[in-house]
Structure 1
Amino acid sequence: MSTEKKIKMFVLGLDGGSLNFVQPWIEGGYLPNFKTLMELGCSGDLESCLPPVTMPAWRVYSTGKYPGKLGVFWHQQLDMKNRTVITPNASMIHSADYWDYLNRAGFRTGIFGMPDLYPPRPVDGFVVCGGPSVSSTEYSYPQNWAAELEREVNYEVCLKGDFFGAEADSPIVAEALNVIEKTFRGADYIYRRDPVDFLMTAIFDINRIQHFFYDQKPSLQAWQIADDWLGKFAPQFEYIAIMSDHGTESLERAFFLNVWLKQEGYLFTKFKPMDILPKLGINRTTAGKIISILGLRRFLDFESVRKYSSLLPSASGVFGEFGNQAVLSRTDWSKTRVIALAQGPIYINRELVKDQDEYERLRSELVEKLEAMQEPRSGKRVFKKVYRSEEIYQGPHAEMAPDLMALNFDEYHNRAGLSQPAVFADSWAWKGNNRHNGMFMLAGPGIRHGTTLKGVRIVDLAPTILHLHGAAVPDDMDGRVLEEAFLPDSSHSLVPIQRQAAIDVGYTFKKEVESDQIISDRLRDLGYIE
């Protein structure tokens, strides 16, 4: 592609961003640059994937493909044959990202802070991976950028610590806001030294703040940092896009799916004498909350916290193991037919449910019961829909999918822990929950002004970005080019959409045991697992 035809584009990704959440701040004048972008371009809700969670949603965005073509379905996946937890990383995904195709079309690209890119792979430009999946100092390509960023801008991949027990004015909140600021400063630092044609910057920790503070001051402060940097980056590019992996909604109550499965006779646990401790509230989670409430986190290093917390049982009553692995160890597999992860994935034990007719009857039974489930206080249904895997996952990796995927209404958080005596509980710490619809904005030459688009999906962004650059769209992408975003007389409308054969990046999965534990710790700090 000739230099004359090249455009400059900036994409800002905001984990958990949604218009229902920020619209009042935009209209109130708190986010002037976002307001200007909405006026100059088109915007709307962005339908995420299932489940609408950081992993797999960011890679669904970057590849333009749903999880069945990627082989990742949540932050962690169950290997039912070996009864263990797999923590996916980028090496599991063979699909190319849209910037690989931009590189082939002659555009140099820079990707900064996007989750679920670790370990990084080579691009024509640079990559700096974002949390929570980074587990080493080798999180950049070229590799030297990581050390330089840490030296020059004191860069941190993601916040160390958690918000359990924190107030809006707690030091940990100031630290989180500083991490967001340093992410932008890091992107700006590299871009000034390597002014690529296409720059994407993603902010993960904004979602962490929203989970624990929802629409309170810390969330507004985080968005104001993003707005300020949007104003700095925008003048340097022709095209500007905003997107999110999912949205955020006010959280009412938590639903403990494995507790329900146990009560209904689908899941059984082993009894141990130490089971009494979690029932008395003595476990790692409550100990961690007490440490945070007393403000002791700053005096304890990460390894000390891990060392002493391992002396206590997990909230599921298991010693020496964390998160979903603790739930699996607690399970009596000789009787258990069904087990679940948080936020939707449900797995059936095919060693016990071997007959296909029995398998289908069991799935139908679970779908019927869960879709009828009501929260007792309000009488509202908990789940919008419970999908059979083949309804939503197609592609070469669909066989790795959970047997069912339960999509809850946005105000209910689906958890996987086994320690809770009741199926429902008031929110333990989160005030904001993942919402199925995120957000997008797009502005630049040939883009409609002040227009709201309907029916836009997260998989539609990759092919649209490629078409804007005059690049062909791979034939295996699930998304479509958003032609309704273009002015009728623009070149984007007049030039036919081109197609090309998809490429395979040829990754081989690299399982890192130490990495799995670090990521599990981060997921626990976020509140995703116990």
Structure 2
Amino acid sequence: MKVVVIGIDGATWDPIVPYIKEGELPGYAKFWNEGLHGPLLSTIPYITQPGWKAYSTGLNPGKMGVYFWSKIDWKDFRIRNINSLGFHGRDYWDILSDSGRKVAIIDMPSTFPPKKVNGVMISGFPHGEGPWVYPPEFEKRIPDSYPKEQIHLFTKNEDPETTMNGIERDIESRFSMAEMLWDHDLVHVSIVMNDHVSHFMWNNENIMLRNFKANDRGISRLLSRNRDGYTILMSDHGNGPIEDEFYANEYLSSEGLLVKRERRDPIISREKVVKIGQKTGLYSLARRLPDGLQQRIVKRVKNIESSMETGIENLLDWQQSRVIALDEGLFYVNPLYQEEKEEIIKELVSKLDAVRSRTGKKLYNRILRGKEIYWGPYVDEAPDVVAITNEIYHQRFQLSGYLWASEIPEEKMAYRTRQVAHHRIRGIFGMVGPGIEGKEITASIYDLAPTILKLFGVDIPEGLDGKPLI
């Protein structure tokens, strides 16, 4: 028996269903019309990491020990990125490997560095130094058409139709790899660029439809190959339109809860680097270079972006800052102020509850303690406060110099366009196969690991946070 899992990063049914009804997306339609289907509720926060690992482990962040892409290291005053080694808990394919099943995991975020499995793991972003494929020798079999990094990004000076051409090729490469590894009992493939398209092109109907069709072509191919097995369609979270983005650490600074150090601009700013690249045509040229050279350029550019855009740690006065925010409504009280923690939290909650957007709308729908949301042995590492935003807003943690993204002049937006959509808690779920009844349900992302283990007839470990859907 074969189980195929197709993970479409950031997918949601809302914009897809109208095209299903028009007959444009036969692959998606198979799940919607004939399978078990409906919304898939994500983690809080509803973001790529920890969302994907919640799917593969069946555990909430309090049991995995990961709540976001990064973790605050209070000892060394750093904000450190987290890779696959930072998660606790076993992925369901580890259990399948132990039972003798062959597994193929393709491009799932949060899987670098790759772990040993009974089969093949091609790790997904973010990558770092070292092997990105298990077994390492399999890398030689990966065709040039499968790029390690997917570099086709929507920028201010690039025709979106041209960018979409590259994204379509990247999507095709992932589905082709799934077919290449078809002899495995489990085949999981992630399509991560759907999320990027949604963030920046949500209002561009033609680009969105091209994206849906590119995914649908691959979905249809895998469905036709797996007529006698089970195929699951899922996403780590959904997406939807937003009005603005809120820079939480700038707000904390304005309220005296965070203290910034004197900012020293680099001799060559990020904006200058970007403008040089755009004016000289270097960005367009880079996309025509050999794949290996492209990957090295991407790595260098990402290092520059990290230090110039997201590296706030050198801009903070760690001793004087009482609260620090990460993205997605996560707030942490500085342990140096442990004795005052409860008073600080009360002050923080009161201030956050009063925040209004530039158009007068309430920013946060709910403000909770981390321990009200998460449970498990690593709940002490949870954020002290989790503020769940009104879904038409997104919280960012960068120190941009502005409270709201809509205040930032266009010329200071560097090379990217503004985000017009961001994550929602309701992702996408569908399942077809022998004996699966076509009906609509609401599922949890924690339900998928136990469901897949049950399909294979493998014992489900105790302590998972989901239940089988069949």
Same fold (TM over 0.5): yes
Q: How does 1:455-494 map to 2 (within 5 A)?
A: 456-483=443-470
Q: Is the 8 A contact 2:248 2:403 kept in 1?
A: no
What are the superposed Cα offsets for residues 277-333 of structure 1, whole Å, 9 maximum, x if unpaired?
A: 89xxx94157536744874313357877988999x9x8xxxxx934443x1211122
1:163 deviates by: 2.0
1:423 deviates by: 4.1
Tell me, in whole angstroms, the C-alpha distance in 2 between the residues paired with 1:443 and 1:135: 36
2:132 is the counterpart of 1:139: yes
Provide the residue aligned with 1:247 in structure 2: 238
1:167 deviates by: 5.1
2:192 is the counterpart of 1:204: yes
What are the superposed Cα offsets for residues 118-138 of structure 1, whole Å, 9 maximum, x if unpaired?
A: 11111112111122x123462
- CA RMSD, aligned part only? 2.7
Provide the residue aligned with 1:75 in structure 2: 69
Tell me, in whole angstroms, the C-alpha distance in 2 between the residues paired with 1:299 and 1:243: 36
Q: Is the 8 A contact 1:17 1:247 kept in 2?
A: yes
Distance 1:381 1:230, change over 3 A: same
Tell me which of 229, 246, 253 is aligned to 2:218: 229
Provide the residue aligned with 1:55 in structure 2: 49
Q: How does 1:134-283 map to 2 (within 5 A)?
A: 134-136=127-129, 138-149=131-142, 152-160=143-151, 162-166=153-157, 169-191=160-182, 195-216=183-204, 217-237=206-226, 238-272=229-263, 274=264, 283=269
Q: Is the 8 A contact 1:254 1:426 kept in 2?
A: no
Q: Is the 8 A contact 1:284 1:309 kept in 2?
A: no
Tell me, in whole angstroms, the C-alpha distance in 1 between the residues paired with 2:403 and 2:67: 27
Q: Is the 8 A contact 1:168 1:218 kept in 2?
A: no
**Secondary structure of 2:356 counterpart:** coil
The amino acid of 2:284's aligned partner reads: R
The amino acid of 1:101's aligned partner reads: I
Q: Is the 8 A contact 2:59 2:465 kept in 1?
A: yes
Q: Is the 8 A contact 1:119 1:134 kept in 2?
A: yes
Provide the residue aligned with 1:354 in structure 2: 338
1:98 deviates by: 0.9
**Secondary structure of 1:11 counterpart:** strand
**Secondary structure of 1:178 counterpart:** helix
2:105 is the counterpart of 1:121: no
Q: How does 1:335-354 map to 2 (within 5 A)?
A: 335-351=320-336, 353-354=337-338
1:215 deviates by: 4.6
Distance 1:308 1:87, change over 3 A: closer
Tell me, in whole angstroms, the C-alpha distance in 2 between the residues paired with 1:197 and 1:302: 31
Distance 1:158 1:218, change over 3 A: farther
**Secondary structure of 1:395 counterpart:** coil
Distance 1:141 1:306, change over 3 A: closer
Tell me, in whole angstroms, the C-alpha distance in 1 between the residues paired with 2:301 and 2:24: 44
Distance 1:307 1:73, change over 3 A: closer
**Secondary structure of 2:115 counterpart:** coil
Q: Is the 8 A contact 2:42 2:51 kept in 1?
A: yes
Distance 1:309 1:42, change over 3 A: closer
The amino acid of 1:389's aligned partner reads: G
Provide the residue aligned with 2:413 in structure 1: none
Tell me, in whole angstroms, the C-alpha distance in 2 between the residues paired with 1:364 and 1:257: 17
Distance 1:292 1:220, change over 3 A: farther
Provide the residue aligned with 1:406 in structure 2: 387
Q: Is the 8 A contact 1:111 1:126 kept in 2?
A: yes
Q: Is the 8 A contact 1:21 1:249 kept in 2?
A: no
Distance 1:478 1:180, change over 3 A: same
2:87 is the counterpart of 1:97: no
Distance 1:292 1:472, change over 3 A: farther
Tell me, in whole angstroms, the C-alpha distance in 1 between the residues paired with 2:276 and 2:418: 13
What are the superposed Cα offsets for residues 192-251 of structure 1, whole Å, 9 maximum, x if unpaired?
A: xxx011211111112112111115222322221221111111133221110000001012
Distance 1:170 1:225, change over 3 A: closer
1:364 deviates by: 2.4
Q: Is the 8 A contact 1:63 1:96 kept in 2?
A: yes
Tell me, in whole angstroms, the C-alpha distance in 2 between the residues paired with 1:259 and 1:32: 46
Tell me, in whole angstroms, the C-alpha distance in 1 between the residues paired with 2:90 and 2:334: 33
The amino acid of 1:148's aligned partner reads: R
1:477 deviates by: 0.8
Tell me, in whole angstroms, the C-alpha distance in 2 between the residues paired with 1:106 and 1:19: 35
1:147 deviates by: 2.3
Tell me which of 81, 102, 108 is aligned to 2:102: 108
2:330 is the counterpart of 1:329: no
Tell me, in whole angstroms, the C-alpha distance in 2 between the residues paired with 1:302 and 1:188: 24
Tell me, in whole angstroms, the C-alpha distance in 2 between the residues paired with 1:87 and 1:224: 34
Tell me, in whole angstroms, the C-alpha distance in 2 between the residues paired with 1:69 and 1:83: 24
Distance 1:189 1:285, change over 3 A: farther
Q: Is the 8 A contact 1:163 1:292 kept in 2?
A: no
Identity %: 30
